[in-house]
Chain A
């Protein structure tokens, strides 16, 4: 795709080919509910959910360079937006999604103003703290079911939740692509690369960081809103699960941070690896899963989609290993 770069296009989107393949894959997966196979429907709905969260994390962590360890807070808020509607008799996932988006955006602006002044590790620690604090707050709010959780009555036509999650995932992928093709995307990457230099060039860091965090949170919140209905029940430990915090980050890094398609690729591949390991080694699959993650981070610290960019192909890869890693 050298011509795209030369035309000054596609510089920060990552591989356009990978993006196109991901789009094609998503379109093909629209047909899954026609198989009437509950396992596949659950599996892919889960992948879409993690994809959306990984894509969301990628906007703030990958493009803007602010490594958040608390994006699950948005997932939880989205889930509780659904629960709130359900408690008030509105059992409609299509209304829950816009509410979740609103809640996430408002939360991001209010908390982003103080939090995004922090840089590096300090930002990460603060986001982790927020996730834990919000979980505790929700657990003590009787209006939201407190510690005992909320049961959501599901619609009769269950595949609508599959399509809702598909939509959240596809919209997140498309939004990421559009961001990476826009001035906005370049502002985020400039902040990631050097915030002071970006400001001197006219980029308002505060404004763009908050916007990035809001978009990041909206992707996770929409996934959470659909999850709550698809799951039929949420309580604080389900809505703010540690796995839902960590997996999206690992997936984004595995696939390729700061690329449009990377997080989706990561979500699909890691879920496939996880499922395979789980079916073969039910007792110790997490051990293998952890080993896969460690190997990837060691040998491909910038993700699979960067393999293409290695100069000198596989020999170059081995050389760089010899130089830096082993």
Chain B
């Protein structure tokens, strides 16, 4: 654990904007991620969630703004060095090394990540991580043999092999059935309990709501809400982004939104995040 006594926030996203040609994928997005938090990042399709993940992990350099990790801007850090700062990610579109075994896939992260282990140690560590994510049974199979849920698990194991302080998870639960989602949530809680800060992009509202300590909502590249999970779902801006303006107007006329917020506040003590 490095020194944080200077008061710099653990992970700060500050005025981040990304433009792809004529498309403003992200527009002035700012928020802080406290250490050991589980931040859920939600928003409709195309709202910029994956782009933001790409910015934080150094895959895309932002057109405007900056990402600071422990008070240090990661804008000038080359992609391969980001993981050594303690930031790891999974890819929504999984990128396994198809011709390597599952164990070898994970071992590469262990060899070149933070601890730069020797091959022997890396294979050992890979074995431990495969136990944790539940892939030990297929450790010696080529990664190309894996089913989609197992490929998602492999992504998590590869990211964990970097010994991260922050883990960015891009839709690791997509395509999983109810039991598998519960298993995945248990796994994420376990990882978080070990002191790893999580940032989770997910479409499954139930999953996000149950695991997050803090939720950030994006729509069309802008941050439209931020706060405790129950506050955020009741926010008119969020409902509007997901369900459209007319739906919100109708519900407001009926007084439903205010009632729901009161209920949510009654359930959740203030300042939960």
Contacts and interface: CB of A to CB of B under 8 A. Distances in A.
B100 A193 contact: yes
B161 interface: yes
Interface in A182-202: 182-183, 186-187, 189-190, 193-194, 196-202
20 contacts: A8-B103, A11-B104, A186-B100, A189-B97, A190-B97, A193-B97, A194-B97, A197-B158, A199-B80, A200-B91, A201-B83, A201-B162, A202-B83, A202-B84, A202-B111, A202-B112, A202-B113, A202-B114, A203-B112, A205-B80
A186 B119 contact: yes
A189 B112 contact: no
Nearest to A181: B119
A196 B158 CA distance: 13
Contacts of A202: 80-81, 83-84, 109, 111-114, 116, 162
Contacts of A280: none
A119 B262 CA distance: 57
B187 to A, nearest CB: 20
B245 interface: no
Given A6-B140, A196-B59, A201 B99 contact: no
Nearest to B104: A11
Interface string B45-65: 000000000000101000000
A5 B139 CA distance: 10
Contacts of A109: none
Nearest to A201: B109
B205 interface: no
A201 B108 contact: yes
Interface string B109-138: 101111010111011001000000000000
B102 to A, nearest CB: 11
A197 B111 CA distance: 14
A202 B110 CA distance: 9
Contacts of B113: 201-202
Contacts of A182: 119
A12 interface: yes
B98 interface: yes
A253 to B, nearest CB: 15
A5 B142 CA distance: 11
B78 interface: yes
Contacts of B104: 8, 11-12, 186
Contacts of A197: 91, 95-97, 158
Interface string B212-255: 00000000000000000000000000000000000000000000
3 closest A-B pairs by beta carbon, nearest first, are A8-B123, A202-B112, A193-B97
Contacts, number: 93
Nearest to A202: B112
Contacts of A190: 97, 100, 108
Given A197-B91, A202-B162, A183 B118 contact: yes
A186 B111 contact: yes
Interface in A148-207: 181-183, 186-187, 189-190, 193-194, 196-205
A305 to B, nearest CB: 14
Nearest to B161: A201
A196 B57 CA distance: 12
A200 B112 contact: no
B101 A194 contact: no
Contacts of B84: 202
A186 B111 CA distance: 9
B101 A11 contact: yes
Interface string A1-25: 0000110100110000000000000
B107 interface: yes
Contacts of B186: none
Given A11-B104, A204-B78, 7 more contacts: A6-B140, A8-B104, A186-B119, A200-B59, A202-B83, A202-B111, A205-B80
